[in-house]
Every structure is written in structure tokens, then in C-alpha cells.
Amino acid sequence: MKLVSTLLATSIAAFGSSQVMAYEAGDIMVKAGVINVAPKNDNASITGVGKVQVKDDTQLGLTGTYMVTPQIGIEVLAATPFKHKIELDNGSTSTIGTTKHLPPTVSAQYYPMDPSSAIQPYVGAGLNMTFFFDEADAVKGNALGPLGDSFGLSVSAGINYDIDDKFLANVAIWYIDIDTELEGSNAALGKDYDVEIDPLVFMAGVGYKF
């Protein structure tokens, strides 16, 4: 009987600890990891010049989530500045410049699983603000103007896995509508050109729950 009571005590303890892992209103999760911004293909077409492609970049991503209820969270996505190569395809491909940007994104999230589950998939929808800076011509004299700020919608999805009651592993993806303009202040452009970056953003990392 001692064995049975020990097993019983152990399983009660295990059950108790799984309850501790439950998501609760007021929980704060902070996650860090590698984050990649992969723009869609064919970001702009400049008359008489060619097609513009913004290349992908990987940085350190950070997210913070505040649980408003056990199943609804508010997430803020931040990262160290991304630096993208900009290529021009006019028959052959060449790098015409670079740009840096910060894409802070605020999302409302829904966690459909029972709050006591160790695996927590979620979906989100939100608002992105992208600020471009440090645009640089790779080749002097090329037609690269500044890029305007972008405000757009985002959708996201991810999975948290509770390693214990404090640490978790996370993978996440966002689709962000980032539409900017290559501004025609540069005489070689003559007018503004729409640039649709509309990237997929992937992040994989670890988190800590407060």
C-alpha cells in the first residue's frame, strides 16, 4: 500500500504542477529567438529600369505577450534592425542598394486550447508599423530613393510548448502587409514607385513566463 500511496502522491504532484503551467490572466511571456523577414517576390517594377527584389534578412527577434484572459493575449513583436539587400533585375541581376527597417507589430491573439495544456497553438491579427532608414546606393548614381514608412495589417500563428512552469519553446509566423514607396526625389526615378514587400516573418525561440 505504501507503493500505491507513493504513486498517488506522485501523480497528484504531477497534476498539481500541470495546473501551475496553466495560462492565467495577467501572465506575461517574453520570448527571444532568431527571426527571418522574407519579402515576397517582385517587390516593384520601375518603368524602363527593371524589377526590384528586396532580399531576406535574419536578426534577433523579441516578443512580449500579456494574457488579458487565459485564452486571449496581446503581443508586441520587436527585433534588432533588419538590413535588406535590394536587387535590380533588368536581364541580369545586380545589387543596387540596401535598406534597414524596424517592423514593430502589435497583435491580439487567441489560444483555443484548454489553458492547462502544455501545448498552446495560437492565431493573431494585428497592426504593423515599418520604419525604413539608412537607405544606401550600392553603386553611386543608381536610381534608389528613400522608402516611406508603412502602416498595415498582419496575421500570425504560432505554437508555445511549456518546458516547465517558467520556460517555453516557441515557433511563430506572421504575414505582414508592408507597402512602401520608392520616393522619386531622385532625378533618375522622376516619380514615386509602389514597393510591396509583404513578407513572411518566421521566428523560433525560447521564452520565459512571469
Site string for Ni ion, 115-144 (x = CB under 5 A): ------------------------------
Distance of alpha carbon 60 from alpha carbon 125, whole angstroms: 22
Nearer to Ni ion among residue 43 and residue 63 (C-beta): 43
User: Under the criterion CB under 5 A, does residue 181 sit at the interface with Ni ion?
Assistant: no
Nearer to Ni ion among residue 192 and residue 196 (C-beta): 196
Reported as type and span, the H/E element at residue 144 is none
Reported as type and span, the H/E element at residue 46 is strand 44-46
Give the one residue of 135, 165, 183, 198 binding Ni ion; rule: CB under 5 A.
198
Reported as type and span, the H/E element at residue 155 is strand 150-162
Read off the C-alpha cell for 4.
Answer: 500505491
A 10 A CB-CB count for 162 gives 21
User: Under the criterion CB under 5 A, does residue 196 sit at the interface with Ni ion?
Assistant: yes
The CA radius of gyration of the chain, in Å to the nearest whole number, is 22
Q: What angle do CA 91, 196, 205 make, to 5 degrees?
A: 105
Nearer to Ni ion among residue 89 and residue 179 (C-beta): 179
Minimum distance of Ni ion from residue 198's CB (angstroms): 4
Give the one residue of 27, 56, 165, 177 binding Ni ion; rule: CB under 5 A.
177
Nearer to Ni ion among residue 34 and residue 153 (C-beta): 153
Residues forming contacts to Ni ion in the complex (CB under 5 A) are 177, 179, 196, 198
